[in-house]
Structure 1
Amino acid sequence: MAAEAVPREQVGSGAERVTAFVDGVVAIALTLLILPLMESVGEVAGAGDDALTWLGDHTGQLLSFVLSFVLIAMFWMIHHRLFADVERVTSSFMWLLAGWLLTIVWLPVATAIAGRMDDDDGVARTLYIGSLVLAALASLFVRLFLRAHPALHRAPRGAVLEGLALDLSLVILFGAALLLALAIPALGYWSMLVMLLSAPAQRLIGRMIGARS
């Protein structure tokens, strides 16, 4: 008697094309970060001002560009290490990935808003840091899905728990930065300095959930 067919949703398909697609979307998001700065160069040049004037007038945009570039690159590196062990993807998993990509593609918009608005603009600050919270949450949901579906990957249990500790630490610290920015508006984006605690936070959470040191 022929073996019973396994539903395609349970079997999944190869992860190579999905990995390439995600890498391409992240590369586009990184490129989009520079567009507001490119536009401002044209505006300054058209007004007859020099490069020093441009640097002085767009310090906030430059800082937000560098910060967002580093953060998106960090999210991509986390995703890259995660996908190194993924062998199959299902439609449910791809929808979760699409949700994560949505947060990444949105970050250039949040960056442009943060760079152009005043430092005391609470809405701009909330949009920016809140977007980072959502990106970290989406990454956590992707990893939790993989933990619940071990047939899709070959990652050992210890590596999965280490990844969970990393994602949880980012969610908690970005959330803490957002709460600090809301509670103490004078801090502004300096509340993001709590991210310097990411390594000890990851180790602490790792011990709490049983990940190896």
Structure 2
Amino acid sequence: MQTTLGLNRLVFFTDAVTAIAITLLILPVVDSVAKASTTGYSAGQFLAQNESQLIGLTMSFAVIARLWVSHHSTFEHVAAYNAPLMLLNIVWVFTIVLLPFPTEMISQFPTSSLTVGFYIGTMAANALVLTAMVLLVHRNPTLEDTANPISALQIFTSVAVTAAFLVALVVGVLVGPINFWALLILFVSIPAQMIYDRRAARSRAAQAEAERRCNAE
């Protein structure tokens, strides 16, 4: 029998693993500082030589933080869990744990279709699994909090971000000169969300007006 305590443990476990994964991002940089201190490098030389590593750290930190926020927002609407949701959540956690690995690879190896595909592909897999959880919860009344259901905008946003990640993956791998810059495609999802939200607002307003006129008659 699933309980509130069980759901809380699932969320706490996910938060703890995410916190560990995001902390692991900094460890290779700390090791590099320790090694550089024995070579007589200045701080400026160290920063210049490890620029790609620092950029990868910053980008991956921002990505994991954003992915966690999306996961947190989704579970704000979850009232219970079942085996499929738990399995999807474990897969989501795996993609988070995996992300420091391609992050270190892109800082240590030349940019290639493999490093780009591994890095962006891990993010795309995370977004895809989260969208699967969003749809699973929304379509299952025993899982969704009836007092705080997932909105249509949230579903659209999750699907749009996942689609953007998948497009970025294809473009980044197939168009060599673009490589990691393909992640900028994610910004396209922002105006898409705004357009969807405006259209939904107009639709709600029109429906409310139609109901008002119907009641007036």
TM over 0.5: yes
- The reply on whether 1:34 has 2:34 as its aligned counterpart is no
SS class of match (1:25): helix
Deviation at 1:53, TM superposition (A): 1.0
Among residues 87, 99, 114, which one is paired with 2:91 in the alignment? 99
Q: Is the counterpart of residue 178 in structure 1 residue 159 in structure 2?
A: no
1:163 aligns with 2:154: yes
State how far apart, in whole Å, the 2-side matches of 1:37 and 1:182 are. 27
- 2:215 is aligned to none
Of residues 13, 29, 45, the one that matches 1:21 is 13
Q: In structure 2, do the counterparts of structure 1 residues 156 and 191 end up closer, same or farther at CA, with 3 Å as the change threshold?
A: farther
Amino acid at match of 1:67: M
Bigger-Rg structure (1/2): 2
Counterpart AA for 1:13: T
- Structure 2 match to 1:133: 124
Output one character per residue of 1:27-82: Cα deviation in whole Å (capped at 9) or x when no partner.
Answer: 01110111111111112112121111111111111111111111111111111111
Q: Structure 2 counterpart of 1:187, which letter?
A: I
CA–CA separation in structure 1 for the residues paired with 2:146 and 2:180? 36
Q: CA deviation at 1:203?
A: 4.0
Structure 2: gaps of 5 or more residues:
206-217
Deviates more, 1:23-32 or 1:43-52: 43-52
SS of match in other structure, 1:46? coil
Displacement of 1:205: 6.0
CA distance in 1, matches of 2:42, 2:91: 42
SS of 2:178's partner is helix
Q: Is the 8 A contact 2:113 2:173 kept in 1?
A: yes
Aligned-partner SS, 1:150: coil
Deviation at 1:92, TM superposition (A): 2.4
Q: 1: CA distance between counterparts of 2:98 and 2:133?
A: 18
Q: Secondary structure at the match of 1:185?
A: coil
Q: How many residues align?
A: 201
Q: Distance in 1 between matches of 2:124 and 2:131?
A: 11
2:64 matched to 1:72? yes
In the superposition, relative to structure 1, how do residues 212 and 114 fare at CA in structure 2: closer, same or farther (>3 Å)?
farther
- Answer whether contact 1:61 1:115 (CA < 8 A) is retained: yes
What is aligned with 2:192? 201
**Quick one: which of 119, 122, 139 aligns to 1:148?**
139
Measure the CA separation in 1 of the matches of 2:46 and 2:92: 34
Backbone CA RMSD of aligned residues: 2.3
| Aligned residue identity for 2:105 | I
